[in-house]
Amino acid sequence: MRALLLVSLLLMGCTTRAQTPKATVRDFYHFYLTDFVSDGNENPLTSAKMQQYVAKETLTRLKAIQDIEEQEIVEADYFTYCQDYAAEWIPALEVGTARDDAGGKVLDVWLGIEGGKKLKLRDYLRQEDGNWKIYRVVDVSNGFEQNIFDDKAISAAKAHAATLSKN
């Protein structure tokens, strides 16, 4: 009987419950906004925390775009649509309820910004390696999306960067 109890406890300890989409987004933004306001992390795209919360394809694309000289695909931070962020705005973070969307989930996110205002984003998630991960972020407040999935724009930016290095 003790052996059965021990095996049951071991199995329960080894199985991890995947986070809900809402918990994933909430935890991501708490981590990311705190990291964003600090100067300690030069390239957050390669951090283990980013890999925990963000889809591999999204990180790969953002890194490739970041490496293009004078690119205009990502004009502000992809996850906040801001150039900078203040620590006092972090407590205003709100995450909405997850809704089904094309085999994944979509959630609205409200970030605190200057003047007590809020910026509304929409985060799209899909399951990857058994976990919910963010793969797309849209600025709903301004009706804008930094289209990191536009292969033609990325190719054009690379071609433009190549002409800069020749000069």
Average pLDDT for 24-48: 83
- Percent of the chain beyond pLDDT 90? 62
Residues 14/6, Cβ–Cβ less than 8 Å: no
Mean pLDDT, rounded, of the chain:
86
Total domains in the chain come to: 1
In a domain, 151, yes or no: yes
Amino acid 94: pLDDT: 97
Domain that holds residue 121: 18-166
Amino acid 3: pLDDT: 42
Tell me 150's DSSP state.
Answer: -
Average pLDDT for 1-20: 48
In a domain, 30, yes or no: yes
CA distance linking residue 40 with residue 51, whole number of Å: 18
Amino acid 13: pLDDT: 41
Per-residue pLDDT reduced to its tens digit, 45-59? 888 999 999 999 999
Supply the CATH number for residue 51's domain. Answer: 3.10.450.50
In the chain, count of helices (H) and strands (E)?
A: 5, 5
In a domain, 1, yes or no: no
